[in-house]
């Protein structure tokens, strides 16, 4: 039976907290959980969830993953706990790590997540920040692996905002050696530090392309991926972003330019008629919901490897 090997880093704050070998191991464990070839009971462990932003998939997949491991969760609502009243992160982290065995945090600033990790004696997982969504990227690459088996000849094109999801796809893609192309409107490119770090990791620098032209970026691509134009916390920029992202809808015209075997991914929630057309979404919904299901399996794998 496949033996889980603990991750070297205590925390999972960024895709860069794992090595390429560790990502392959997480995906392997996740696949075995999905196929019901692996049964692990961690017993009595408690995951604390602190979500400063809304969530359906991440929150529920963490809760169900813990339950499948024979463990439990505590869901802290910032508005009804002292977090919303401004109790310092360093105090919250020191208290919660005496009650919980691991924390999953969804918040705005990456630096706040890092502050939790600094003061917590227990592992901290990034459940999405403005900068990264590394758990999502694990499920995405699991879904890609299910389709293409290995990553060698895969071209992943992300069309849209150079946001948290794009940043984690870049970093995880760099570690896995996947060709990643990002097509964003001018001014909405991914984080420059993320791009710099990714180029340091890629052995072949040609494998990462950042462009403002979605039409050339999709040529021959095997995976087309998009995400909302206005992320959580950007609600007041919606009108401007809707205008700026004109021409970046993942529709059948773009899809026709991709490789014949191209698959479509979306982290969800999706806004049909904005970042993706209704037709493209509905004709690729099976894999998009498989991708959502994979959130559960990678979460279960990640928790196992951080807690064992
Ligand atoms: N994809 C994703 O993270 O979904 P939620 O916001 O519902 O957790
Ligand atoms: N970029 C989106 C992802 C949602 C899962 C956001 O941050 O709102």
Complete domains list, the chain, with CATH: 15-132+295-307 (3.40.50.1370), 136-291 (3.40.50.1370)
CA distance linking residue 86 with residue 88, whole number of Å: 6
Task: Give per-10-residue mean pLDDT for the chain (308 aa).
Answer: 94 98 98 97 96 98 98 93 94 98 98 98 98 99 97 97 98 98 98 98 97 98 98 97 98 98 97 98 98 98 96
The dihedral sign for the CA sequence 245, 220, 171, 106? positive
- Pocket lining: 268 vs ligand 1, CB cutoff 6 Å: yes
pLDDT of amino acid 211: 98
> Which stretch of DSSP H or E encloses residue 23?
helix 20-34
The catalytic position among 17, 130, 227, 291 is 227
| Residue 25 annotated to the active site | no
The whole-number pLDDT of residue 43 equals: 86
34 lines ligand 1 (CB under 6 A): no
Closest atom of ligand 2 to 230 CA is 8
Ligand 2 binding pocket includes 228 (Cβ within 6 Å): yes
Q: Do 170 and 194 touch, CB atoms closer than 8 A?
A: yes
What is the pLDDT, as a whole number, of residue 108?
A: 98
To test the pocket of ligand 1, the residue of 49, 54, 55 to mutate (highest count of ligand atoms within 8 Å of its CB) is 55
Atom of ligand 1 nearest to the CA of 106: 8
Q: What is the pLDDT of residue 1?
A: 79
Q: Residue 136 catalytic?
A: yes
- Clarify whether 71 is annotated catalytic: no
| Ligand 1 contact via 126 beta carbon (within 6 Å) | no
Whether residue 227 lies in the annotated active site: yes
Tens digit of each residue's pLDDT (9 = 90 or more) over 56-91: 999 999 999 999 999 999 999 888 999 999 999 999
Eight-state DSSP code of residue 17: G
Tens of pLDDT along 173-202?
999 999 999 999 999 999 999 999 999 999
Using a cut of 0.95, tell me whether the model's pTM lies above it.
yes
Q: In what order do the strands lie in the sheet with 72-76?
A: 72-76, 46-51, 102-106, 124-126
Please write down the HEC assignment for all residues of 180-248: EEEECCCCCCCCHHHHHHHHHHCCCHHHEEEECCHHHHCCCCCEEEECCCCCCCCHHHHHHHHHHCCCC
């Amino acid at each position: 039976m496949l033996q889980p090997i603990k991750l070297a880093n205590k925390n999972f704050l960024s895709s860069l907290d794992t090595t390429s070998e560790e990502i392959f191991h997480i995906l392997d464990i996740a696949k075995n959980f999905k196929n019901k070839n692996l049964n692990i009971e961690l017993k009595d462990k408690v995951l604390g969830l602190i979500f400063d932003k809304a969530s359906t998939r991440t929150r529920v997949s963490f809760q169900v993953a813990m339950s499948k491991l024979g463990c439990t969760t505590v869901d802290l609502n910032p508005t009804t706990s002292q977090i919303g009243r401004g109790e310092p992160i360093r105090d919250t982290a020191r208290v919660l790590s005496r009650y919980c065995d691991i924390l999953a945090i969804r918040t705005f600033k990456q630096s706040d997540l890092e502050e939790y990790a600094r003061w917590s004696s227990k592992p901290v997982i990034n459940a999405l920040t403005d900068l990264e969504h590394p758990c999502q990227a694990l499920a995405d690459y699991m879904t890609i692996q299910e389709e293409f088996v290995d990553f060698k000849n895969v071209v992943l094109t992300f069309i849209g905002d150079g946001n948290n999801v794009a940043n984690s796809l870049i970093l995880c893609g760099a570690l896995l050696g996947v060709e990643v192309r990002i097509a964003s409107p001018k001014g909405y490119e991914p984080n420059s530090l993320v791009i710099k770090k990714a180029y340091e990791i890629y052995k072949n620098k040609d494998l990462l392309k950042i462009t403002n032209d979605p039409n050339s970026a999709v040529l021959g691509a095997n995976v087309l991926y998009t995400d909302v134009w206005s992320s959580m916390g950007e609600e007041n920029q919606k009108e401007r972003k809707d205008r700026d992202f004109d021409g970046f809808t993942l529709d059948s015209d773009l899809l026709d330019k991709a490789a014949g075997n191209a698959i479509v991914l979306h982290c969800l929630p999706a806004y049909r008629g904005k970042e993706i057309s209704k037709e493209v979404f509905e004709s690729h919904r099976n894999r998009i919901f498989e991708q959502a299901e994979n959130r559960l399996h990678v979460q279960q794998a990640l928790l196992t490897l951080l807690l064992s």
